[in-house]
Amino acid sequence: MTRPAYFSSPAMAGNGPSAATAEDNNPKMRVIRVGTRKSQLAHIQTDSVVASLKTLYPGLQFEIIAMSTTGDKILDIALSKIGEKSLFTKELEHALEKNEVDLVVHSLKDLPTVLPPGFTIGAICKREIPYDAVVFHPKFVGKTLETLPERSVVGTSSLRRAAQLHRKFPHLEFKSIRGNLNTRLRKLDEQQEFSAIILAAAGLQRMGWQSRVGQILRPEECMYAVGQGALGVEVRAKDQDILDLVGALHDPETLLRCIAERAFLRHLEGGCSVPVAVHTAMKDGQLYLTGGVWSLDGSDSMQETMQAAVDVPAQSDGAEDNPQLVGITARHIPRGAQLAAENLGISLANLLLSKGAKDILDVARQLNEAQ
């Protein structure tokens, strides 16, 4: 893989005359500025990406710059009602545009499938557990959603979760809960409003709070959000040096799964204002994609599964000069595999649309706006 001249490669790092020459020629190595949100989870996620980059490029220095986003500031309105597509990314992208940061680390599920002009996702890191998890109020520890008392209130900020779980567990009530992980857990523990809350299992795992997980929701109970469990690194699309730097972080299997998922969501024209969910798996050279849409109360739903032959490639040294796919640039992953994943997502979306998914989503969108 080609590396920018001022980046020391792993082979050069730390020993031998090549490393000494690189340091001598660059007495003031460029500091790579990394943007992130201010939450504890965002810092942990960003630290993990920076640690991976330091392993690859031990001669580089990194500075983490944290900032608040619109989604962090507006906490009294459900996410689906704010009407802003870039709730957790807009301010970070503004800093990227003004050259105040060189790259930004996001939860991939927060990144829209269509990015603003001039930006691209330069890396998708290896996905952690993509499922949702249930955290119970202390008095209900040991319960499951199925065994919670009638009319117990479950907190979630996601229409996707509420629609699926309302269909699966009609004896429960679902109510919006906002804030970062720390805030939501505090609301659960200190108030008597919620019997349980639903959170992304990956976030709890990264925070080291696995002990709070009372139940993992499998796909047959609640399919997950597009990109959930993966981290995306957003950069300026024309900053080839930074693209080359972060491109080494691409995890090929995660990349292909997320291309399929994002293509599915993009072709449906879905987002956080409608309940859309996915499940992907790679097995024996086949990529399996299950996608579904739901009405707000879960009473109406549609889901299908399709598969395509998509070999998981290793990163190659030869870079292909190709445009983005669903906002992602991966020049060292064979183009054919990426296109196969994208086509799978589009084909599944077309199948659902042909069976009436648009009507379900249109009604869900209208009802959400009217509430």
CB-based contacts of 90, cutoff 8 Å, min separation 6? 69, 70, 84
Question: Is 311 annotated as catalytic?
Answer: no
Residue whose C-alpha is closest to residue 284's, from 252, 314, 311, 305: 311
Go through 8-40 and write b for each residue having 16 or more CB atoms within 10 A of its CB, e for each that does not.
bbeebbeeeeebeebeeeeeebeebbbbbbebe
- The secondary structure of 228-295 as a DSSP string is TT-EEEEEETT-HHHHHHHHTT--HHHHHHHHHHHHHHHHHT--TTS-EEEEEEEETTEEEEEEEEE-
Q: Which of helix, strand or coil describes residue 107?
A: strand
The residue from 24, 47, 72, 110 that is catalytic is 110
CB-based contacts of 308, cutoff 8 Å, min separation 6? 286, 287, 289, 340, 341, 343, 344, 347
Bridge partners of residue 49, in order along the sequence: none
The residues annotated as belonging to the active site are 110
